[in-house]
Amino acid sequence: MHAFGLKNTFAALYIEEGIKGEWHMLDHAGQRSTDWLAKGGLRPTRQRVALARLLVGDGENRHVTAESLFAASSETSEGVSLATVYNTLRAFCDAGLMQEVVVDGSKSYFDTRMDDHPHFYWEDSAELTDARSDQLEITRLPDLPPGTEISKVDVVIRLRRRA
C-alpha cells in the first residue's frame, strides 16, 4: 500500500518536472499556444498544449474537424486519442477560444477565428475556409417566432466545381 502511494507520488513529480522542463524549452509556437490557453483560462496540460500548438502555433487561424486534428496529432510525438481531441475541442469552445461551425448535421468544424464571418464549404474536399465578411450583406431576416431572439446567424456558402 505504502509502496504504491510512493510510486504515485513519484509519477506525479515526474509529470510536474516534465511540464516544467517543457516550459523552459518553449519556442514561439509553444509560447503562442500557452498564451492562447491562458486567454481562455485553461491550464496548460501536456495534451492541451500539444493540440493548441497544432491549432495556433503558427499564428494563423485554422478550421479543423476532430478527425483532421486527430490525424495531425497522430503525426507528432504527442499523439492523443480521438475522444480526447473531441473533448479538448469542446473545452476550447466553452472557454471562448474557438467557435463551432456546423456545416451539416453529421460534421462539426471548429474555427480559431472568433469574429462573425461567413464560410465557404468545399463539397468535394470537405474543407471549410473563410469568406470575406466585408462582401456579405444580410439585409433582411425572416420574422422570428414569438418569444425568441437570434442567437447566431451562420453563413456557409457551399461550393462545388463547375462541370
72-111 positions binding Zn ion, by CB under 5 A: 111
Nearer to Zn ion, 16 or 130 (CB): 130
d(CA 112, CA 60): 9
What's the CA gap between 98 and 92, in Å, rounded? 6
Q: Nearest approach, Cβ of 156 to Zn ion (angstroms)?
A: 10
Question: Is 34 a residue that touches Zn ion (CB under 5 A)?
Answer: no
Smallest separation (angstroms) from Zn ion to the CB of 119: 5
Closest residue to Zn ion in the complex (CB): 111
DSSP state string for 88-101: HHHHHHHTTS-EEE
Asked if 116 touches Zn ion (CB under 5 A), the answer is no
Residue 56 touches Zn ion, criterion: CB under 5 A:
no
The residue from 130, 136, 154, 158 that contacts Zn ion (CB under 5 A) is 130
| C-beta of residue 153 within 8 angstroms of C-beta of residue 117 | no
Please answer whether residues 66 and 85 qualify as being in contact, where contact means their C-beta atoms are separated by less than 8 angstroms: yes
Least separation in angstroms between CB 120 and Zn ion:
9
**Least distance in Å: CB of 109 to Zn ion?**
8
Candidates 18-26, 36-44, 91-99, 127-135: pick the segment binding Zn ion (CB under 5 A).
Answer: 127-135
**Rounded-to-5 percentages of helix, strand, coil across the chain:** 45, 15, 40
Which residue from 113, 118, 120, 122 is in contact with Zn ion, where contact means CB under 5 A? 113
Q: Give the number of C-alpha atoms closer than 13 A to the C-alpha of residue 95, restricted to the C-beta side.
A: 18
Q: Which is nearer to Zn ion, 34 or 99 (CB)?
A: 99
* C-alpha–C-alpha distance, residues 47 and 91, integer Å: 12
The residues of the shown chain that bind Zn ion, judged by CB under 5 A, are 111, 113, 130
